[in-house]
Amino acid sequence: MSEAAIARRALGLLDLTDLADDATAEGARDLCRRAVSGPVPVAAVCLWPRFVATAREALAGSDVRIATVVNFPDGDTPIAPVIRETEGALEAGADEIDLVLPWRSLLGGETTAAAAMVRNVKMHCGERLLKVILETGEYPDLDKVRIASELAVAAGADFIKTSTGKTAHAASIPAVRVMLGVIAMTDRPIGLKPSGGIRTLADAKAYLDLADATMGPGWASPSTFRFGASGLYTALVAAIDGSAPDTPPRGSY
C-alpha cells in the first residue's frame, strides 16, 4: 500500500480533536470545516462539551460524528457531576462520549468506584458510543493496562482509549498491544482509540499495522478504530497530496 493510500485510510479513522485550554467557538467551527473539507472526511470531531451545539450546527448534513469529553482531563470528578455533564452533552447533540476512567482510584485498588463510573455513564449513553480513556501512559506497568482495559470493557465501554493527551506520556505501542489483546478475547465488538502524541504518517502506520496483525486486516474501521489527534490531520493530508515529507506537524495532541 502506498503512503498516500495509508494516509487516506488513517484520515477516515481520525477523531479530529481540539481540547486546548483556550479553545473557542470559532476554533470549533474551523475544526468542523477541516473535518469535511479534506481528501477524505474524518470519522469524528472531538471537542469540549460547551462546543457540541456549535459543532452540531456546523456539521449539519454531514456524516462526521461529534464526540466530547467528560470527567476530563484528570478523571477525579465525582460521579454525579459527570452524569450531569454527560446528559448535557447528549442533549446538545453529542454522538459519542469520551469518559476518563477514574484511573487513580483504579491504581489505588478502588475498582468498584471506577467500574460504577463507566456503568452509569454508559447507561445514560444508551446506543451512543462510550469511549473510556484509560490514561495508560501514567500506569506503572502493562499489567495495570490489562486490568483497566478488562474493567472498562466489563462495565460497558464500546471503545477503550489510551490517553487524554494532557499528561507527559500518551499512547504507546506496548499499551495498545495489551489493549488489543483484551479486545481480541472479548465476546462482543469493542473498539480501540490510540490518542495523544500521534503526529506523523509513520506513527499512524505503526498502530494500524499492529491492529491488522492482531485483529485481522479488515478489522480497523470507523466503528472499531479511531485515532485521537489534532496535528495528525496536517501530516495525513500532506501525504495524500504528496506535498510534504512525513515530519511532525504543529499541534500538541
Render the chain in DSSP notation, one character per residue: --HHHHHHHHHTTEEEEE--TT--HHHHHHHHHHHHHSSS--SEEEE-GGGHHHHHHHTTTS--EEEEEESTTTS-S-HHHHHHHHHHHHHHT-SEEEEEP-HHHHHTT-HHHHHHHHHHHHHHHTTSEEEEE--GGG-SSHHHHHHHHHHHHHTT-SEEE---S-SS----HHHHHHHHHHHHT-SS--EEE-BSS--SHHHHHHHHHHHHHHH-TT--STTTB-EEESTHHHHHHHHHHT-S-S---S---
Which entry of 161, 203, 205, 246 is annotated as an active-site residue?
161
Question: Is there a catalytic annotation at residue 161?
Answer: yes
Which entry of 18, 95, 98, 158 is annotated as an active-site residue?
98
> Would you tell me how many other CB atoms lie within 10 Å of the CB of residue 191?
20
> Is the previous residue joined to 102 through a cis bond, with omega within 30 degrees of 0?
no
Report the C-alpha gap between 251 and 249 in whole angstroms. 6
Question: Is there a catalytic annotation at residue 98?
Answer: yes
Which entry of 144, 193, 203, 246 is annotated as an active-site residue?
193
> Which residues form the catalytic set?
98, 161, 193
